Amino acid sequence: MGMTMTQKILANSAGAGAVEPGQFIMADLDLVLGNDVTTPVAIEEFKKMGKAGVFDTKKVAIVPDHFTPNKDIKAAEQCRLIREFAHEMGIENYFEIGEMGIEHALIPEKGLVVAGDVVIGADSHTCTYGALGAFATGVGSTDMAAGMATGKAWFKVPEGIKFILTGRKQKWVSGKDIILHIIGMIGVDGALYKSMEYTGEGISELSMDDRFTIANMAIEAGAKNGIFEVDEKTIAYMEEYSTKQYEIFRADEDAQYSEVYEIDLGKIRPTVAFPHLPENTRTIDEVGDITIDQVVIGSCTNGRLEDLRIAASILKGRKVKKGVRTIIFPATQKIYLDALREGLIEIFIEAGAVVSTPTCGPCLGGHMGILAKGERAISTTNRNFIGRMGHKESEVYLASPAVAAASAITGKISSPEEVL
């Protein structure tokens, strides 16, 4: 029986000729990742193991990004703990203020993940790296500790769901709209512990930033991972950024999938997820009159340069509606600098938005964008659960940078066509 992309990668890392869905394997890890929220717990568990050092100082990455710059004393203590640990262990890929970014944008930018890799991260959106043809999945802090100590992890081999992408995107449709459309179609548990595998001629329509966004939100459908078939765009990205060799794994023609979906990109409209689940989707034509108090453009889902360019193309020469707080977060220092050089930051500020250093802050209701009771936000982040960005009686609507930027101008959820 043939294997999916995910099965092939896991078989290779486990030193097995073949693996089957449901099989338990021990696989070698190419990268173990943590952040300022999850790493302190992992360090505590790591120390219980009595290990003198991590398995490989080049294959552990720690990125303080959730509550940094430190929002309070507790956050400062957490960051001090991981800073001292990284120094003590000689961890090479430790990125703090000045060189940091939101982890799932920074790690690919630093070339630390390539096609064929097996990656675990103590953050659920580690699945982002599937855009590069890698197997990447989120784990708990204890698994992170074990990974740092041994360089290995147990996995139950997931079944696969195949998404065949066809057609060409309409104007203003991006990766965010595509993944919201898919989650709206299959539900937040529609891919529970399965691999979401993307193939088809429509992949060529997607930029790498589109693919990072789609892979990032695999977890919002309950998936173990999301993964894209490697093509010329993937290879070009890796050739520009990668620090190591890659290996391409393609699904066998007779690979078995639990479900197969064909998605015509040309039929997808800009899509918005209403409170309080990513599956609660409506097209922009079905939204109605929803006024907003805050706009957030950024995060590990949509804080890349292409996202900022799209937002700037709509905000240029226009003003954010008075009373609408619009906060923009470039995902890394490099993206921030590139946006500055292109004049995007000036466009945002002249429009009446504020631009922040890279942080996950508002996405998880941590800092720099907390919602009060009864407030509504439209956000390019990835989750809109009850209380996700602040008060439990606030509301979060998920959308693309294009829809978010247009909504900032009108003060209500709007299509870009309404302001251009």
Domains 5-264 and 271-418 share a fold: yes
Q: What's the whole-number average pLDDT of the chain?
A: 95
Q: Given CA atoms 166, 382, 157, 46 in this order, what sign does their dihedral have?
A: positive
pLDDT reported for residue 386: 86
| pLDDT one-digit tens code per residue, 276-318 | 999 999 999 999 999 999 999 999 999 999 999 999 999 999 9
The hierarchical CATH code for the domain 271-418 is 3.30.499.10
Q: What are phi and psi of 365, to 5 degrees?
A: 65, 35
Backbone dihedral region for residue 54 (phi beyond 0: left; psi -120 to 50: alpha; all else: beta): beta
Kindly provide the residue ranges of all beta strands, DSSP E only, lying in 174-234, ordered along the sequence: 194-199, 225-228
Mean per-residue pLDDT, 174-182: 98
| pLDDT one-digit tens code per residue, 107-150 | 999 999 999 999 999 999 999 999 999 999 999 999 999 999 99
Is a pLDDT exceeding 90 seen at residue 88? yes
Higher-pLDDT residue of 310 and 363 is 310
Higher-pLDDT residue of 163 and 1 is 163
What tokens appear for 120 in the block? 């675990």
What tokens appear for 171 in the block? 């104007």
| pLDDT one-digit tens code per residue, 374-405 | 999 999 999 998 889 899 999 999 999 999 99
**Domain-by-domain residue ranges, the chain?**
5-264, 271-418
Q: Could you tell me the pLDDT band of residue 1, with boundaries at 50, 70 and 90?
A: confident
| pLDDT one-digit tens code per residue, 317-362 | 999 999 999 999 999 999 999 999 999 999 999 999 999 999 988 8
Look at domain 5-264 and name its CATH class. Answer: alpha beta
3-class secondary structure, 376: strand
| pLDDT one-digit tens code per residue, 123-133 | 999 999 999 99
Is a pLDDT exceeding 90 seen at residue 68? no
98 HSE (CA, 13 A, CB side): 1
